[in-house]
Structures are given as C-alpha cells and as structure tokens.
C-alpha cells in the first residue's frame, strides 16, 4: 500500500471515531457535545464543518453523498403534500367588493400629495413616503 492511501484510510478512521464520539456525547454529556461543536467551527464563521447525520435506522452517515441524500429525503418527507381534498368537496365563493365610497383620484389630489409627505418618515396605513434623493 502506498503512503498516500494509508494516510487517507487512517484519516477516515479518525474521522469516524470522532463522529461516533461526537454523536454519543450528545446523549450523555451535552456540555461536552456543545464544546466539541464550538471547536469544530472556524473563528468568525457561521457555518459548521460537521458533516454527520444519522439515518432512519440510527446509523451514522458521514460520507458527503449519503448526508446530502439523507437531508434530501428528510425535506421531501417534511414538505410532502398529499392532496386529500376531493374536488367535489371544494366550494368556491365569489366576493364582490363594491367601491361606492371611493371616488376617482383627481389631478388636484395628485399635485397636493407630494407636499403632504414627510421626507425619511415611515408611511402609515394607506399612506406613502418619500426617500431622500
């Protein structure tokens, strides 16, 4: 066996042993678990270098493709939507909104509107605002 292959095998063994220790510590010692999580995070980073997850049978998955497949299956199951409503059970109701109180916008209102707006202020309900140009 070449040196490169034996180093790769040894690294994988160490990673697998670390992953198992990491997973077991979550159940038995949560303080140690979170300490290990902090150690695996690079400084000033919001992403983790932990690429381990358990499958449905509780087996540890640490290969990138297996982990991605597990997450894919998980989200597919979470967001799976089965149409259980039959079309005959659905009734549509039309709502007609009559705008009897509203009149058309006049040219005078259009001209006066910008003068009433306050620069840099948030608009209230149904109002508008102007940003600094």
H-helix segments, the chain:
3-28, 30-40, 64-78, 107-116
Per-residue pLDDT tens for 88-120?
666 666 666 666 666 788 889 888 887 777 676
- For residue 61, the Cα-to-chain-centroid distance in whole angstroms is 22
Name the pTM for this structure: 0.30
Domain positions in the chain are 1-50, 53-81
Name the band, by pLDDT with cuts 50, 70 and 90, for residue 133: very low
Question: Any residues with CB less than 8 A from the CB of 130 and at least 6 apart, and which?
Answer: 114, 117, 118, 119, 120
């Amino acid at each position: 066996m070449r040196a490169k292959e034996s180093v790769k095998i040894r690294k994988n063994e160490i990673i697998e042993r670390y992953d198992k220790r990491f997973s077991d510590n979550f159940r038995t010692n949560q303080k140690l678990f979170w300490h290990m999580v902090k150690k695996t995070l690079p400084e000033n980073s919001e992403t983790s270098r932990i690429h381990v997850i358990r499958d449905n049978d509780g087996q540890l998955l640490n290969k990138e493709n297996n982990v991605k497949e597990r997450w894919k299956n998980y989200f597919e199951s979470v967001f799976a939507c089965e149409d259980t409503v039959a079309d005959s059970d659905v009734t549509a109701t039309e709502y007609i909104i009559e705008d009897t109180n509203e009149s058309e916008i006049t040219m005078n209102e259009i001209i006066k509107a910008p003068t009433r707006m306050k620069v840099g202020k948030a608009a209230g309900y149904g109002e508008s605002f102007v940003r600094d140009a």
